[in-house]
């Protein structure tokens, strides 16, 4: 489960809008998310992705930290659903270079023999 979260964060927040579309980025995360979440991300789009493109920027992941959420901040884990707090450290280049830490509350569900992300709540990325 930690492997899934780490891999997803590194794929999803390593962004180069000059060489791939947001749809391509979402497609690369398919192994880590439910089909429903992938479709939702595609449908909603991402204004931060567009802003990164406008700034001529790229983003890379400097680190991913996975931990249990604070008490009473997420549903209790069950055999069919778990929640984790994932903090992604992202380096951004372009007109406004920056390093940011993005906290996300992520819900995972079992699918086949692995856990996949079914819900994301949190800050806005690059």
Q: Kindly report, residue by residue over 92-117, the tens digit of the pLDDT.
A: 999 999 999 999 999 999 999 999 99
Residue from 27, 24, 30, 26 nearest 4 by CA: 30
Domain spans in the chain, listed from the N-terminal domain onward = 2-122
Cβ–Cβ under 8 Å, residues 85 and 105: yes
Q: Is the pLDDT of residue 125 over 80?
A: no
pTM across the whole model: 0.92
pLDDT for residue 73: 87
CA distance 50 to 57: 10
Q: Kindly report, residue by residue over 32-90, the tens digit of the pLDDT.
A: 999 999 999 999 999 889 999 999 999 999 999 999 999 888 889 999 999 999 999 99
Q: Is the pLDDT of residue 124 over 90?
A: no
Using CA atoms, how far residue 77 sits from 48, 68, 84, 106, 117, in Å, is: 31, 10, 9, 12, 14
Q: Is the pLDDT of residue 9 over 60?
A: yes
CA distance 96 to 92: 8
CA distance 81 to 105: 13
Q: Is the pLDDT of residue 118 over 90?
A: yes
Asked if the 2-122 domain carries CATH number 3.10.450.540, the reply is yes
- CA 49 from centroid of its chain's CA atoms: 12
Residue from 118, 49, 45 nearest 78 by CA: 118
Cβ–Cβ under 8 Å, residues 34 and 111: yes
């Amino acid at each position: 489960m930690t492997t899934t979260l780490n891999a997803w964060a590194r794929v999803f927040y390593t962004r180069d809008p000059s060489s791939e579309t947001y749809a391509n980025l979402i497609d690369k995360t398919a192994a880590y998310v439910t089909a429903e979440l992938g479709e939702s991300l595609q449908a909603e789009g991402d204004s931060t992705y567009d802003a990164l493109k406008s700034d001529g920027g790229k983003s890379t992941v400097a680190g991913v930290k996975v931990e249990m959420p604070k008490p009473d901040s997420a549903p209790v884990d069950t055999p069919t659903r778990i929640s984790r707090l994932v903090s992604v450290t992202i380096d951004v280049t372009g007109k406004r270079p920056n390093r940011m830490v993005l906290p996300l509350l992520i819900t995972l569900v079992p699918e086949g023999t692995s856990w996949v992300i079914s819900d994301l709540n949190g800050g806005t990325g690059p």
